[in-house]
Structure 1
Amino acid sequence: MSVPSKAASVFTALFLIIFGCVFTGVGVMMFFMFEDTGSGIAEAIPTFIATVFTLAGLGIIGGAFYSIPHAAALRERAARYPDQPWMLNNAWATGRIRDGNTVTLIIMAIITVVWCGITAKVLISMLIDGDFAQEKFSLFALVLPAIGLALIGTTLYLFLRYRKYGVSVFEMADMPGVLGGSLGGVILTRTPVRTTDGFRLMLRNVHLWSTGTGKNRKTHRETLWEREQRLPKTLDQTDGQRAFPVLFTIPYSCHPTHKVSYNKEYYWELVLSGKAPGINYKATFRVPVFKTEHSSPTVTGELESLPEDERTSLGTDILTIPGLSVRKSLFGGEELSFSSTAGRKVGAVFTLLASLGLLGAAFIVGLGGLSVFMGLVLAAMGVYAGWRALGSLFGSTLIGIHPDRLEVTRKFIGLTTSNRVVLGKELQNIQVISTRASNESNHYTLRLDLDGDERIRLPLRISGQVNAEVLAAHIRKLADM
């Protein structure tokens, strides 16, 4: 973590104050300028923009005043601990790290209140003035309460989870976590947690960066390394569990915790989750991992090199991979069957409903005379989303591992849509590659590297890097690679 000098912190604060005042001034001026522009859509859009500018400006000014004493405290601590960057973080310095659920709840609550307030003003104005019957574009105002309901549902879920479980704390055994060493400690919960099938404990090394500017700015998130452990539910604690041991071996080659710039950083994330009756449990911690004098370049983190107890907790068994079934082939070898809906039934159903909504919107927009082109665009988006959802619900992938070949077959509602045969002599390597991420875990697939630099990416969605590595090792073993 870089520490700004006194002059730099004061200059930055002054710049932010001026910038915030400009934003706030523009917002206040817009309130007065558009005070008499009428009602309905004509008034709602400027009010929305003015509110955003004013709140953003006040937030920037508040952050500027907070930054000066905060920077001074950082400089004092950096002088005291010159070779211990983790001591610059208050939570890391104490060795007791609170989960991020409270901050997430507060941010979502603020967004929800602002959005619902603006939506209420728009709808009330339009109902009073009868704009729903007069303005064709008023149909789009129905999108505002739909988004508001989604925000309310998300905020309510986060609030209920907070009420049920409170704040969890990760107490580190040693500070910090060590590259080429380990991260250890215990996660403590405020109330006992009961789950239906145990707990998942994940540690991941993440690269977060942004590209572009303005409306073209995009944030990218890549998981560089990940390990998942399965903690079985305790049989002797019928009231639930309140303490969860943590121990991960970390490869020396991983990236340490480091904020390179305002738009690029490497961080470590520890996640404990479990399916429970009613509201599921989940706690996320940002943990410090650095290279220290205890780091050993010989620690690789490979599955075979891990201690027995840690390797056992990883669940390194091909039969534990979600959505995978294994059976013997009539022609020798094995057949692996992957269900496309594994772990994403709810998401596929919601996607299907969204596709129906897009098709309905396309019908209204196109036949209502608003815009034929926009109707076609919405229809195309609806058809694509529906096809993806149906593929997730009714699709599957079969991998036949035979003595002389691999056979990859894609099926939809029992019908073969594609088939590819790879001869054993063509196959050079099997790589694990990341596909996408969700709140709970990252997803991976396998890539077959063939002769002549040809590569085949298998249509799989495997939850967790360890599961993908176990599957790749299993295929290599059967294919005699």
Structure 2
Amino acid sequence: MSKQFNADNKKTNFPWFALAFLSVFIIAGIGGCIAFFLDGQIGAGLTFSMMFCGIAGLMMTLLVYGHRKALAEQSMLLGEKPADGIASNNKSGYQAMLGMGAVFFAIGVPISFVAISDELPKANYAVLLVLVFPLIGALLLWQGRTKVKHWQKIGKTPFYPEPFPGCVGGQVGGYFTLQHGRFEQMPQAELSCVHVYQSGSGKNRTTHRKHIWSSQCNVSRTVDGKHRLVFDVPAELPVTGEDSRYRGRIEWQLSCNGELQQASERLKFNRKWTLPVIAGNARSAWQPSAAEVELQQQQRQVAAFDAAASQIKQQVQGDTLYLTSEPGRHTGTASTLIIVGAIFSGAGVFLSYKALDETAMLWLMALIFTPVGLLTLLFGLFWLGRGLKASVSPGQVWIQRSMFGIQLYQRRAQLTTEQQLSIKQTLSSTSGEGKRTEYFRLQADIDGKTLVLAEGITGRDAAEALKLQVAEALIR
């Protein structure tokens, strides 16, 4: 398939069939509700109707929204410039969170009430697990409402691409404006090429978002109050939509993160836009000055070395560089993994216990929950307790691995060239605001074996900076 957008291959039909199929569930929900009402079971009727109508209604809303978004994307790829700019994805994400919370809460409350009323007097305490659904709903409602109110304080921040559309082989850039507040320090923007695809089928279908390429730059404020940015984009990258080299589709995401000052209040600024990108060589009419580019590069380099030094303890003695990757540096990530792993493991153990007296289906669920939970729990414990010491001197490296302060093993090897050094991404996480954090390790490839010299490094720039320092220590 050609890189250039092909309109004939991008026609998006209105999802009539899917909407008609979901309408059947709504009709069934209404019909079941009436039948329960006639039988005098008002609570069961409301629960039945909310379950069918609520879920089907939410899915219909998401289908229509997705169709409108696809039509807008097609129009932009064909060169139709939106007069009001490209809206950020944040508010729609928060509204979807509110919708999901409302459905979970509306369904969970009556189901929990009926189930607990029937089973708790029988000493079946396992029925209390149904409270998870209204609790999740309440949490989603609270978080969604909080996010929407925060978004409203900042206001709309539409993005106006220049050039339009952006080009692989050229530039992707543009500007946005602020309705309220001002930046104390210019924020940083990141442009990412994301491969979106699905795996599995039915209930096991999972959507994956793999970053193919990304680049960062500082935002610049011009005299007209516009906050501008521009990226040079390599020509070999895929464009928006389908590409024969990838299954699924390609999206180009622009994110911007910083801090706003509104009167005496500081607000976190997080915005993400989905941009149209085609093949071409178009460039932005606005370009940062050479002095500004040089200053940004210097600031980024200094920040990278500072980040590397703050994360990995470094000490130089003679011609030897000592590196220490302290344990417990990522307690947030490790704690999340431990909690999730503990919940899944606990659910697996409980299901195994209940399966002794119940159906074989519980065994199947237990065999799924238990290993997933245990693996996640063990990985979280590894992240929390792992420690690593390394020393690098001309032609030689040494490492010592420990776990919760207990030494496990040590290795020594000859390292002759900096080409044997590499950085590898080990984990990535995305916050509720869509901010992506990547973790890297610095490793040496020696005679087909890999020795890790530093780990748990947050950010590629910091990992690259540490790699330069180790390379210098090798050739002293």
Alignment TM-score, normalising by the size of structure 1? 0.73
Match in the other structure for 2:252:
268
- For 2:331, which of 327, 345, 356 is the aligned residue? 345
Equivalent-residue separation in structure 2 for 1:174 and 1:95 (angstroms): 16
1:460 match: secondary structure: strand
Match in the other structure for 1:81:
none
Is 1:211 aligned to residue 199 of structure 2? yes
Q: CA RMSD in A?
A: 4.6
Match in the other structure for 1:239:
none
The alpha-carbon deviation at position 186 of structure 1 amounts to 3.2
Question: Aligned pair in 2 of structure 1 residues 428, 132: CA closer, same or farther (>3 Å)?
Answer: same
Match in the other structure for 2:79:
87
- For 1:475, which of 444, 464, 470 is the aligned residue? 470
1:63-104 superposed Cα distances (whole Å, 9 cap, x missing partner): 79x77x996x999x6xxxxxx83525x54xx48333211111
* Matching of residues 32-181 of structure 1 within 5 Å: 50-51=52-53, 54-55=56-57, 58-59=60-61, 85=77, 87-88=79-80, 91=82, 94=83, 96-126=85-115, 129-134=117-122, 135-181=124-170
Question: Aligned pair in 2 of structure 1 residues 311, 442: CA closer, same or farther (>3 Å)?
Answer: same
- For 1:429, which of 417, 420, 424 is the aligned residue? 420
Equivalent-residue separation in structure 1 for 2:421 and 2:43 (angstroms): 57
Equivalent-residue separation in structure 1 for 2:311 and 2:65 (angstroms): 50
- For 2:213, which of 200, 203, 225 is the aligned residue? 225
Is 1:288 aligned to residue 271 of structure 2? no
Alignment TM-score, normalising by the size of structure 2? 0.74
Match in the other structure for 1:199:
187
Is 1:312 aligned to residue 325 of structure 2? no
Instruction: Flag structure 1 segments of 5+ consecutive residues without an equivalent.
Output: 78-83, 235-241, 296-305
Question: Aligned pair in 2 of structure 1 residues 57, 38: CA closer, same or farther (>3 Å)?
Answer: farther
State how many pairs are aligned.
445
Equivalent-residue separation in structure 1 for 2:70 and 2:204 (angstroms): 32
Is 1:325 aligned to residue 312 of structure 2? yes
Match in the other structure for 2:289:
none
The alpha-carbon deviation at position 387 of structure 1 amounts to 4.4
1:40-75 superposed Cα distances (whole Å, 9 cap, x missing partner): 9998986665235642675488679x77x996x999
Question: Aligned pair in 2 of structure 1 residues 451, 36: CA closer, same or farther (>3 Å)?
Answer: farther
The alpha-carbon deviation at position 110 of structure 1 amounts to 0.9
The alpha-carbon deviation at position 252 of structure 1 amounts to 2.8
Equivalent-residue separation in structure 2 for 1:280 and 1:120 (angstroms): 34
The alpha-carbon deviation at position 383 of structure 1 amounts to 5.8
Question: Aligned pair in 2 of structure 1 residues 60, 183: CA closer, same or farther (>3 Å)?
Answer: closer
Counterpart of 1:100, as a letter, is N
Moved more, 306-315 or 116-125: 306-315
* Matching of residues 420-459 of structure 1 within 5 Å: 420-425=411-416, 428-434=419-425, 435-438=427-430, 439-446=434-441, 448=443, 450=445, 453-455=448-450
The alpha-carbon deviation at position 132 of structure 1 amounts to 2.6
2:306 match: secondary structure: helix
Moved more, 103-112 or 400-409: 400-409
Contact 1:335 1:399 in 2 (8 A): yes
The alpha-carbon deviation at position 214 of structure 1 amounts to 1.6
Contact 1:22 1:57 in 2 (8 A): no
* Matching of residues 369-408 of structure 1 within 5 Å: 385-408=376-399
Counterpart of 1:190, as a letter, is Q
Contact 1:230 1:313 in 2 (8 A): no
Contact 2:89 2:272 in 1 (8 A): yes
The alpha-carbon deviation at position 325 of structure 1 amounts to 3.4
Contact 1:172 1:185 in 2 (8 A): yes
The alpha-carbon deviation at position 264 of structure 1 amounts to 1.5
1:3-57 superposed Cα distances (whole Å, 9 cap, x missing partner): 4699x767x6554454344444454455467778998999898666523564267
1:422 match: secondary structure: strand
Equivalent-residue separation in structure 1 for 2:18 and 2:252 (angstroms): 30
The alpha-carbon deviation at position 111 of structure 1 amounts to 0.9
Match in the other structure for 1:463:
458
Instruction: Flag structure 2 segments of 5+ consecutive residues without an equivalent.
Output: 284-291
**Aligned-pair identity (%):** 17
The alpha-carbon deviation at position 270 of structure 1 amounts to 1.6
